[in-house]
Structure 1
Amino acid sequence: MGTDSNGWNRARGLAVKALLFIGGALLVKRLRKSTTRWDHARLVAQSLTGEKYSKDQASRDPDNYFNIRMLTCPAAELVDGSKVLYFEQAFWRSPQKPFRQRLLMAKPCPKELKCDVELSTYAIRDMEEYKNFCDRPKDQRPQPEEVIGDIGEHLTTIHLKRCSRGKRCLYEGSSPPGGFPNSWNGATYCTSELAVMKNSEIHTWDRGYDDDGNQVWGQKEGPYEFKPAPTSCFSDMLSPLSLPPLPPMDRRIEGSFILQE
């Protein structure tokens, strides 16, 4: 009788475990299905937000990459729910002097496209008003209604898809075939690629091409890799022992996407 009882208890325990496993799998599946189109847009916007640096990449390959500070923060929200972010890049030595300022807009992809998030880049009508936007108190920045009014020329759009299981990224995508018009440094069009990584890194790769398809600006080796700033970032950056020699200005500019306008 004791043996039968133990066998029954063991069988019942296995059955309960199986039910819990199946229930957990169904819950995960349901959660995945319940992720709305707007949830994806919000997640991409949140992943882009914050202070990130390409310091590690610049240390590994100083001939091809610079230590760039990328700073992004929420700026406004449209009536349809689209998230508008302010984005700027600066050399880490002079974060108060951004060389690139943009407004980004994240929203769900149009239903006819096979993607999850549409991320568009816009020029700013008065960039000087937005310099160091994210570093300033909210009452000393352009307010959301002003931001919406200052959205300027559309520059690029990237269509992002959720990454397949097993990949290091959460979302990845690129500009449509043929890219977008661009005239900087002899280019006629440009392309953009973006990956949102699981470890909160952002990988970006912008390149410009001429009429013959020759690359005339941008990195040739691979994307820039921006990692979230550690809490000690500024103290590390300002240490005299951590200051590498400045590269010549002509090398800094030549072929570098970060200065593309």
Structure 2
Amino acid sequence: MGSDSYSSGGGGGGGGGGSRARSLALKALVLFGGALILKRLRKSTTRWDHARVVAESLSGEKFSGEQARRDPDNYFNLRMLTCPATEMVDGSKVLYFEQRFYMVKPCPKEMKCDVELSSYAIRDAEEYKNFCDRPKDQRPSAEEVIGDIAEHLTTINLSRCERGKRCLYEGSTSPGGFPNTWNGAAYCTSEVTIHKNGEVHTWDRGYDDDGNQVWGAKAGPYEFKPAPPSSHNEFISPLNFTSPLSLEKKIEGSFVLKE
């Protein structure tokens, strides 16, 4: 019995050691396999995948209500309502947003960015009033949308955020901005940050020839967050007013950029 016990104990010890070795080997294999899959997934992310993610992140209804309650002297509860309008032949996504179009596509290969976000005027903005709130069969057709894309306004070059940051993409207009004459401005600049939690931060500002800021938020970007339906009745959209200038003393932020 003693011999059997000893033999059994020794065998158990050897089995335990072998089991631990197999377990460690299996863990190493899983970790290696996971790293390999992750690497392949990263490599499989194409330039158009970045554009698709940005377009999807911008789409939907978001509000700056939380920021407005926190700092009512500088921010209103604005609604950011964006929706798909059409897709170009080359795959570029066209979104509708507050009397303008956004075109989302990959940055040119020679540029150090991932996504090009450009805004365009609309030939007949009245035809697109409440575009995103309408049933799809009551909106202008895809062909009409393409035909109504007018002059280029701005372009923001977005890059994927570095690891560890809470954002997905961030970027701005090129140095010097773009021509803009609203409210005495000579040019304007824009910054956009898309966060992992669905927030979109935008900072549009206008400057005169001397570099003085003449419109736009001064304390920081507008912070748009997905909001529950209960807050929908509280928002103010400055573009619904006949004269945005009447809000100049109170609204110094985004979405009053059009003349």
* Matching of residue 259 in structure 1 with residue 251 in structure 2: no
| Higher relative contact order (Cα pairs below 8 Å, separated by 6+ residues) | 2
1:108 and 1:249 mapped to 2: Cα distance?
36
Equivalence for 1:194: 192
Give distance in 2, aligned partners of 1:177 and 1:199: 29
Structure 2 partner of 1:45: 55
- Judging changes above 3 Å, is the alpha-carbon distance between structure 1 residues 249 and 187 closer, same or farther for their aligned structure 2 residues? closer
Give the aligned partner of residue 87 of structure 1: 97
**Which residue, out of 165, 168, 171, partners 1:167?**
165
What is the TM-score normalised by the length of structure 2? 0.89
Corresponding residue for residue 35 of structure 1: 45
Q: Write the mapping of 1:62-73 to structure 2, written as runs, cut at 5 A.
A: 62-73=72-83
Amino acid at match of 1:187: A
Deviation by residue 1:98-128 (Cα, 9 ceiling, x = unmatched): xxx1100000000110000000000011111
Larger radius of gyration: 2
Distance in 1, matches of 2:26 and 2:116, equals: 44
Residue number in structure 2 paired with 1:203:
201
The CA deviation at 1:33 is 1.0
Gaps of 5+ in 2: 1-10, 236-245
Shift of 1:139: 0.7
Residue in 1 that maps onto 2:238: none
1:256–1:202 distance in 2 versus 1, CA, 3 Å:
closer
Task: Supply the AA of the counterpart residue of 2:104.
Answer: A
Q: Counterpart of 2:106? A: 108
Deviation of the 1:210 alpha carbon: 1.1
Amino acid at match of 1:191: T
Q: Which structure 1 residue ranges, 5 or more long, are not aligned? A: 89-100, 239-247
Residue 18 of structure 1: how far off its partner (Å)? 1.0
Q: Letter of the 2:181 partner, please give it.
A: S
Residue 186 of structure 1: how far off its partner (Å): 1.3
- Partner Cα distance (1:37, 1:137) in 2: 31
Find the partner of 1:58 among 68, 83, 108: 68
* d(CA) in 2 for partners of 1:225, 1:106: 21
1:132 to 123, 130, 133: 130
Counterpart residue identity of residue 183, structure 1:
T
Query: Structure 1 CA distance, aligned partners of 2:200 and 2:36?
Result: 31
**How many residues in Structure 1 have an aligned counterpart in Structure 2?**
238
C-alpha distance in 2, partners of 1:24/1:204? 36
Q: Percent identity?
A: 72
Q: Name the counterpart of 1:26.
A: 36
Partner AA of 1:65 in structure 2 = Y
* Alignment RMSD (CA, Å): 1.5
CA distance in 2 between counterparts of 1:182 and 1:231 reads: 35
SS in structure 2 of the partner of residue 12 of structure 1: helix
Matched residues in 1 for 2:248 and 2:116: separation? 35
Distance in 2 (CA, whole Å) between partners of 1:192 and 1:202 is: 13
Residue among 217, 224, 227 paired with 2:225:
227
